[in-house]
Amino acid sequence: MYTTYTYLILFLGVVFLAYTVLPKKFKWVALLTSSYIFYAAQSGKLTFFLVLSTLSVYLGALAVDKIQSKFDAIRKSLEKEERKKRKLSVQRKKKAVVALIIIINFGILAFLKYANFATESFVSLAAHFGKEIEFEPLKLVLPLGISFYTLQAVSYVIDVYRGKYKATKNLAKVALFLSFFPHITEGPIGRFDVIADNIYEGHKFNYENVTFALQLIFWGLFKKIVIADRANAFVKTIFEDYKMYNGAVIVIAVLLYTLQLYSEFSGCMDIVRGSAGLFGVELQKNFDRPFFSKSVNEFWRRWHITLGAWLRDYVFYSVSLSKPFMSLSRSAKKHMNAHFANVIPAAFALFFVWLGNGIWHGAAWKYIAYGLYYYVIMLIGMLFEPLIAAFFTKTHINRDGKVLSALKVLRTFVFVNVGMLMFRAKGLKAFLRMFLSIFEGSFLIGVKNGELFNYGIDEKDFIVLIVGFFVMLVISILQERGHSIRAELAKKPLPLRWAIYIALIAAIVIFGAYGQNYGKVDFIYGQF
């Protein structure tokens, strides 16, 4: 949807003009109105769920604040013991409100997204034990961006409960925070205290902001339309009929899927951040060149940053710092050592993080396995870290040397691509079949004598993909070395800047994967 002429010209263009000419006090009205128009156009009657989520967290946060305020008003007048009892009672009441809000929001998400999956899994399990159960799948439709706005909604009410900030009495501010059209479908997953005021306050026209925003939009369109959508044609051909291929064909399909997913998701983030930038709003960064990572842990700190941060703040810390696990940590320190005292609660917390990560991505066992795959890798790393550190200390080998660093990047790349194969495969059986088929028969079968150009894309398409990949790689290397491409471009002579802009737009128009030979490709993360 973010790549259509309807969005880029008719919708975004009109909203930008309205926002620019309206007085400051009405600018937020333009954003809220346009956000709901955008959402309703995509989801229709399902907009009800967005409204319900908005009202629930708004009222829930106010209730939490009210409970706390009543206690604060009488705190000083109470005796020590009575104050302690009242405090515990207040905490229980606040927890009950927050629990109710979480149940409402996650309950809606769980039912709409996972009801059929859970029922199908139960029926399959029953059949395994000889009990046949008839099952007719429910006709459920997911509201647009429900996985994203639900996390934002829950984070708001939890932050109010934790005392991070007071609940706002402005319903419009909460509504705009959750519905803001650039980020509602695929993120980034925002925090109320970071962006709510920024969206709501209204910004004057700023030439530099608009220029930078348009650069981001066109760069995102290049990655999505030229690279990701073109790679999809090959990827779809191989993964849809995976039993027909093996060896290098599977490897190339996985590599192109990795390229597709990265180009598409990061491209989408560029478009939405650019869209928000037109209104003076800076959304949180969601990518930080993840394929330069030296470990899987680092990769996930750089990939989908806001999802990782949400799981860290609201799942990992909630579990690892809970009373039972703090007690377990103290016990482990007493009976084992400091390393395991840290590892044991972290291991349990990480399990819930990665289980949640897998479930969040989709209603299928492959997504659960996908999350647990990364959990196992990280757990092994945590458990063996003392031994690894001791090895490098005794051998006097520099762990951060250039050669080892390069090998770590390569290792991480391999791990990630195995995960990508699992993520894209039709199921766990298909994943296992495709993975094993890499090592079956002649590795180069299917790629010799020009056969590679018969799987959805031709030789010219591969050339475009290779050139596009290297353009992204060069820019990523420069950014990794500390260069701000947009800031440096702004300092270049006007003719050179416009030559680059025209070249980028021309590349999108000429080499974009649209038309008769290419099918329409929806955003992958838009389906979660």
140: which DSSP letter? -
Give the span between the Cα atoms of 166 and 63, in whole angstroms. Answer: 11
Q: Where are the domains of the chain?
A: 15-204, 206-283+454-523, 290-424
CB burial of residue 384 (10 Å; 0-12, 13-18, 19+)? exposed
Cα-based distances in Å from 205 to 37, 418, 490:
23, 46, 18
Give the span between the Cα atoms of 423 and 440, in whole angstroms. Answer: 22
Percent helix, strand and coil across the chain, each rounded to 5?
75, 0, 25
The model's pTM = 0.92
Give the span between the Cα atoms of 472 and 194, in whole angstroms. Answer: 29
Token couple for 108: 């809606």
Alpha-carbon dihedral angle through residues 419, 421, 422, 425, given to the nearest 10 degrees: 160
Give the span between the Cα atoms of 245 and 69, in whole angstroms. Answer: 65
Question: What is the pLDDT tens value at each position of the chain, 528 positions in all?
Answer: 788 889 998 999 999 999 999 999 999 999 999 999 999 998 999 999 999 999 999 999 999 999 999 888 888 888 888 888 888 888 999 999 999 999 999 999 999 999 888 888 887 877 777 777 777 777 878 888 899 999 999 999 999 999 999 999 999 999 999 999 999 988 899 999 999 999 998 899 988 899 999 999 999 999 999 999 999 999 999 999 999 999 999 999 999 999 999 999 999 999 999 999 999 999 998 989 999 999 999 999 999 999 999 999 999 988 888 888 777 777 777 777 776 777 888 888 999 999 999 999 988 999 999 999 999 999 999 888 888 888 888 888 888 888 999 999 999 999 999 999 999 999 999 999 999 999 988 888 888 777 888 888 889 999 999 999 999 999 999 999 988 888 888 888 988 989 999 999 999 999 988 876 676 777 776 656
